[in-house]
Amino acid sequence: MSLLQRLSDMAIFARVAETGSFTQAAVALQMSKGAVSKAISRLEQHLSVRLLQRTTRQIRLTAEGQAFFAYCQQVVRQADQAEHHLDEMRDEPAGTIRISVAVTYGSKIIAPLLPELLQRYPKLRVELDLTDRLVDLVGEEVDVAIRFGRLVSSSLIARPLTKLPIVLVGAPAYLAQAGIPQHPRDLVQHSCLSTDNSPQERYWRFTDQGQPLEVLTQGPLHANSNRALKPAVLAGVGLMYVTRYQVANEIDAGRLVPILTEYMPEPLPVHLVYPHRVHMKAGVKVVLQYLQCRLSPQTHCQTTSQAVAERVVDLAS
């Protein structure tokens, strides 16, 4: 007899032992009385013991049946507890939610938002995975990721989050010495510092009278993180092509100056991506809704946790 069949028969036996009646057990389990009787006989045959003493008026547990009944109760109870736990995970924000995001954006933008989220939902835990590589959400068991730029076609579900303006900046000292470029093509005469994750990173993209324009840049320093380039730019080593949020404080303080602003491309789109739309955990729903509320300018958000919880069902639609 298969394990699945044994577990089913154990649950039936437990209900018969609890009610003391084949008929009542059959009604409770929505089975025929014959099917209940057959399950008990099958279980006794498998165990090679008699579990019940049957008379015309009543049934009584044997000593073996009494001992086995305790184990069956435990199995049924644990199954109920497991189902209840899954119900809580589905209906109440709880458990661990893993979020993957690029290092700089995750550190500067996402991490400061998490304390409020965790205060709203004390049963929720967040694992923030900061990496600049493209993670496999399913293979690496990531619940939510934040992706930048144009999305490749995939089975993942994507929701627009925000758009990040791009700026070209230099320190006042560098611009005073090297001059201010008047057109993107002038950059071939300038020291351009870039991230070097791929050869394409050295092509800086602009628009000229509505037409896309790419300029191959050169410079004395390349790094795999814009955070590593910022000190050199501030020191007057060269120019930096970057999303504005990464240098907003320096621009506001006058330590960096935006240039060629009329040639900058469209802002960089940012998306929330996740693997599944159906049977989504409540924790994933509130994380998606919370990030959209805080970061997406077109999202109308209410501020209370109850209001957020009421709106998360929209994410499954």
pLDDT digits (tens, 9 = 90+) for 228-271: 899 999 999 999 999 999 999 999 999 999 999 999 999 999 99
Q: How far apart are CA 161 and CA 148, in angstroms?
A: 10
Residue 160 structure tokens? 């627009």
pLDDT of residue 199 exceeding 90, the answer is no
Output phi, psi for 16, to 5 deg: -65, -45
Looking at residue 296, its pLDDT comes to 84
Task: State residue 315's pLDDT score.
Answer: 33
Quote the CA–CA distance of 47 and 177 in Å, as a whole number: 91
Q: Are 166 and 184 in contact (CB under 8 A)?
A: no
pLDDT at 308: 37
The answer on pLDDT for 303 being more than 70 is no
Buried-exposed string 224-247: b where 16+ CB fall within 10 A, e elsewhere: eebeebbebbbebbbbbbbbbebb
Can you give the pLDDT at residue 150? 84
Tens of pLDDT, residue by residue over 151-176, are 876 778 888 999 999 999 999 999 99
- H/E stretch holding 213 reads strand 211-216
Domains in the chain with CATH codes: 3-89 (1.10.10.10), 95-161+270-316 (3.40.190.10), 166-263 (3.40.190.10)
pLDDT of residue 56: 67
* Whether the predicted model's global pTM rises above the 0.75 cut: no
Once rounded to an integer, what is the mean pLDDT over residues 46-52? Answer: 92
Distance CA 80, CA 212 (A): 60
Strands 124-130 and 95-101: parallel
Amino acid at 114: L
Encode pLDDT of 267-283 as tens digits: 999 999 998 766 678 88
